[in-house]
């Protein structure tokens, strides 16, 4: 049974309070937020296995700090959707603004449209699947996890990347400092296939069409000969 919360009537603070109410959440794990009005921080900080549908567009930090919950946004997301997510799943059915999945430690973020600049910045274990294209400086300082892009990638992809893996099917405008193309071997194809399946993409998506990018590991320790690359 689904409970409906009308944000236009009760306000964002009350919407989030009810989503955080453990007694209500245990009785009604499925929620729908209507009239989100592009407001910020909707469904932020959830820490229970809820399913929350948001019927429209959201502003900054939608589903930020998510743990365990599944958040489905039926529109576009502002800056920092799923920022610092720990677990669970966030599904954006539209486009995402800058810094989608920033600093996130776990879980799965799926974006059906495009993502703007710095998608996956400083990601620390999250898996991100973007069905469209991503903007410049995506996966900047990405530490671990996987970023999958079915479209194209903007400039300076993977700048100062650590051990995250980036898979791109389309074209890459340019690679950032210390980011290089790497061989696409069987274990990587298996990981990619699993991520595509988790994002609801069928076997018709050919993993052989993707290229893998990661760290050249030349900037891990400072060396004066590499000073210009930092």
pLDDT digits over 193-207, tens only? 999 999 999 888 999
Q: Do 159 and 177 form a contact (C-beta atoms < 8 A)?
A: yes
Average of per-residue pLDDT values in the chain: 94
pLDDT band at 218 (very low <50, low <70, confident <90, very high): confident
The answer as to whether 107 is a domain residue is: no
Q: Tell me how many degrees the CA angle 199-203-206 measures, rounded to the nearest 5.
A: 95
Domain that holds residue 16: 1-100
Domain count, the chain: 2
pLDDT digits (tens, 9 = 90+) for 34-83: 999 999 999 999 999 999 999 999 999 999 999 999 999 999 999 999 99
Please check whether residues 62 and 150 belong to one and the same domain: no
Please check whether residues 95 and 177 belong to one and the same domain: no
The answer as to whether 106 is a domain residue is: no
Last residue within a domain, chosen from 75, 100, 125 = 100
Please check whether residues 20 and 128 belong to one and the same domain: no
H-run or E-run covering 129: strand 124-130
pLDDT digits (tens, 9 = 90+) for 72-126: 999 999 999 999 999 999 999 999 999 999 999 999 999 999 999 999 999 999 9
What is the percent of the chain with per-residue pLDDT over 90, rounded to a whole number?
88
Last residue within a domain, chosen from 100, 127, 157 = 100
């Amino acid at each position: 049974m689904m409970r409906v919360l009308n944000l236009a009537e009760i306000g964002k603070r009350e919407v989030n309070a009810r989503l955080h109410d453990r007694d209500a959440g245990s009785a009604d794990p499925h929620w729908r937020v209507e009239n989100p009005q592009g407001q910020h921080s909707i469904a932020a900080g959830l820490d229970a296995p809820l399913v929350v549908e948001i019927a429209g567009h959201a502003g900054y930090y939608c589903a930020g700090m998510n743990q365990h919950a599944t958040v489905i946004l039926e529109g576009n997301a502002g800056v920092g959707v799923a920022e610092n997510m720990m677990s669970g799943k966030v599904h954006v059915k539209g486009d995402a603004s800058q810094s989608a999945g920033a600093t996130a430690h776990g879980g799965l973020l799926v974006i059906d449209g495009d993502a703007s600049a710095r998608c996956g910045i400083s990601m620390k274990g999250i898996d991100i699947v973007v069905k469209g294209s991503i903007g410049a400086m995506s996966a900047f300082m990405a530490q671990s996890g996987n970023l999958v892009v079915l479209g194209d990638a903007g400039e300076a992809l993977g700048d100062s990347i650590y051990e995250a893996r980036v898979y791109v099917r389309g074209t890459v405008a340019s690679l950032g400092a210390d980011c290089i193309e790497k061989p696409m071997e069987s274990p990587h194809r298996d990981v990619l296939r699993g991520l595509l399946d988790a994002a609801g993409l069928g076997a018709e998506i050919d993993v052989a069409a993707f290229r893998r990018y990661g760290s050249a590991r030349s900037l891990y320790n400072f060396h004066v000969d590499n000073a210009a690359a930092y």
